[in-house]
Structure 1
């Protein structure tokens, strides 16, 4: 039986991962000759396409991507970059010669012994490409985890992104940090050594945790629990800051962020900021502080995200009229806000033959969510008419609204058939539209609404 280290040297026909025993990918390898059209794709383009198919994070406890269930003894069907080599000889050659396909490591203390050969092989295949590492500490047998961690930390000079609780002082090319440990212990050593950090996410930040010279280099800053005294020290030093997502307490005073382009905060925070260059904003809760903030900042919004919106229809429509250049609008309506939901649908509908200025004339992408699940048949009809009116805007040669997502808690059986027919008509005309029956699993989470850069 060949060892994992020599598996790369075997001819293609001998390599259905047979050297890994019960970790083998199942199924025959497709004959390359039957895919001449695929073989015509330039190798560089094929490798790039492969990178787009891989998730940034595999899972919480599984270290290797699986198409089958993660069981301790039964054979596994491997996914991700491992599955690419099972298509044809060309794909396998591209996968093996593309280190960037093998650079994402999701590890936990629940790592299984049978995963070690694959992890060591993946690390070998990553070559000298920058590594993205996520380490999760949980109850379990730490033996296999510690074994591979020794190997992985020997390559820490190539760590680019990391989410970890531990000593990270030997990471010279690190640019992205996610620190979910409560308390600053250990992180100062990291900041002293990793001078290239430009994106920083910390669960709890305390005063003087981040050196001011480092804050001057930070472009993206995300913190979940902080105080105004810490923000008033750190943010004025962040002269390169363009991305900010913060949640804290003890607000007092006013801060100006001259270069900030994107801000995610709870509504009350807006009363303490000025951001003249802001283009995108995500606000959680009521919108009372949004209009004064926009007037004070003099900024021009192109994207507005309202999460857990609990305001009134008139207030929402007034806010949208004050920002006519909004191209992307995403609103998650909190239970009890269905009247505002229906009022917005009506206000967004363009009535043919009228000269009145319509709401959000630059709107290209729209996402709406009804958590209360009160969308009835009349509301269905109103939504469809609104989408149709925005899709073919009167007086425009090209469509205005190009993408729409409607998230509903329950698509009723008596209307689902007609609903799908109406949506299909728009799809056939070229509109990117979908109605999603939302559950706790697939409803857009707060992270998906707020995060603009991938955190492993």
Structure 2
């Protein structure tokens, strides 16, 4: 059990007394069958010493199912104390799930995944959480075959992250008026229904979409951050650009951050930046047209595009990341030195470890910009991944 209080309890008698008498130290229970299981008595002792429970239970079909079922049954005796559940289901655990319904009064955060296609063979729908009225944060991935998830009828949910058809998302959005953050990931079907009235999300501040048609029926007047990934569902880049502009105009929001990924049209990005001058942070993640976008942002003899930008970030350009890094640094330098562009303050590069190569010229330029006052960061590994998760509004789960 990573970061468990067991080590503290074994330090000395004093710290053992402190650990045993502090329920919050025992609240995180991690079961990851792919890495082996803790002894049942050990988990039982931890649960007895804890108060509210955060459960991380990742089943594995390739490991002993009997021990996994026993551990889940043990935790099931304490449903009423579950506040957070990070669950990856195997086929053998599915029959136990019906017992959750009506017994999760404290559950606030949920992540549901499946341990392979075979884990879904006995499931037509998930109705285990529809009475968990304290639920505010829902992540549910069908992944292999779409399985509808019934949510509580109470309007408490403020964040959701679900892979589903456009029709399902449209239905969910009308039922969740208090959303602050949403990941509308279109999967299993790319169609988006036409609705009689636009779906207005009055409280939505952060939004991820991978299909612009989903924006055609939405209005989000308080939206501050938008992440759009063209994952291949939308081959028409001109239509894509028009859809983004139409959504922002309809919402009349003060958008601050725009995150773009996949194949995109640099001309439309230019139009958006010029029209919506509240955008002060621009992020490119795995953007295949990055060269055109960075060239567009380069300050030159003509008027600089979007001089209001405070931050320009670049992440995970994969195979050619180092060549893009060079162009990115030159773009930053040009804007930093431009007479009509004094806003730039922050820049971050996310790189895979294997893609990074030392370049003395780029390092010298980086040092020069930092000395001039630019907050320039180059991140790798976990630090880079954490930034990525934040930019696309995935939830970081304790593990």
Deviation of the 1:290 alpha carbon: 0.9
Deviation of the 1:179 alpha carbon: 2.9
My pick for the range that moved more, 216-225 or 367-376, is: 367-376
List per-residue Cα deviations over 1:46-74 (Å, max 9, x = no partner).
xxxxxxxxxxxxxxxxxx22xxxxxxxxx
Matches for 1:33-112 after TM superposition, within 5 Å: 64-65=1-2, 98-110=22-34, 112=36
SS state at 1:188 partner = coil
CA gap of 1:157–1:390, structure 2 versus 1, over 3 A, is farther
Matches for 1:392-407 after TM superposition, within 5 Å: 400-407=344-351
Q: What TM-score, normalized by structure 2, do the two folds share? A: 0.73
Q: What TM-score, normalized by structure 1, do the two folds share? A: 0.65
1:312 to 251, 265, 273: 265
SS state at 1:106 partner = strand
CA gap of 1:341–1:278, structure 2 versus 1, over 3 A, is same
Match of 1:148 in 2: 71
Deviation of the 1:386 alpha carbon: 3.9
The 2-side partners of 1:137 and 1:96 are apart by: 31
CA gap of 1:449–1:158, structure 2 versus 1, over 3 A, is same
Match of 2:314 in 1: 367
List per-residue Cα deviations over 1:69-115 (Å, max 9, x = no partner).
xxxxxxxxxx5655667999998887666543432333244564655
The 2-side partners of 1:172 and 1:242 are apart by: 22
Match of 1:451 in 2: 393
Deviation of the 1:218 alpha carbon: 2.0
The 1-side partners of 2:267 and 2:396 are apart by: 35
The 1-side partners of 2:13 and 2:216 are apart by: 60
SS state at 2:258 partner = strand
Deviation of the 1:185 alpha carbon: 4.9
Give the count of matched residue pairs.
Answer: 362
List per-residue Cα deviations over 1:181-234 (Å, max 9, x = no partner).
558657324313x121122222346679345x23x3321122202341x34433
The 2-side partners of 1:85 and 1:117 are apart by: 16
List per-residue Cα deviations over 1:395-454 (Å, max 9, x = no partner).
999x742342253773445xx123223324444566542335789x97789755422533
Match of 2:161 in 1: 222
Asked if the contact 1:338–1:372 (Cα under 8 Å) also holds between the matched residues in 2, the reply is no
List per-residue Cα deviations over 1:146-185 (Å, max 9, x = no partner).
3433332222211111133423222110112223355865
5+ long unaligned stretches in structure 2: 90-96, 115-119, 231-236
Asked if the contact 1:111–1:145 (Cα under 8 Å) also holds between the matched residues in 2, the reply is no
Q: Does 1:134 find its partner at 2:78?
A: no
Q: Does 1:279 find its partner at 2:233?
A: no
CA gap of 1:117–1:363, structure 2 versus 1, over 3 A, is farther
5+ long unaligned stretches in structure 1: 1-63, 66-78
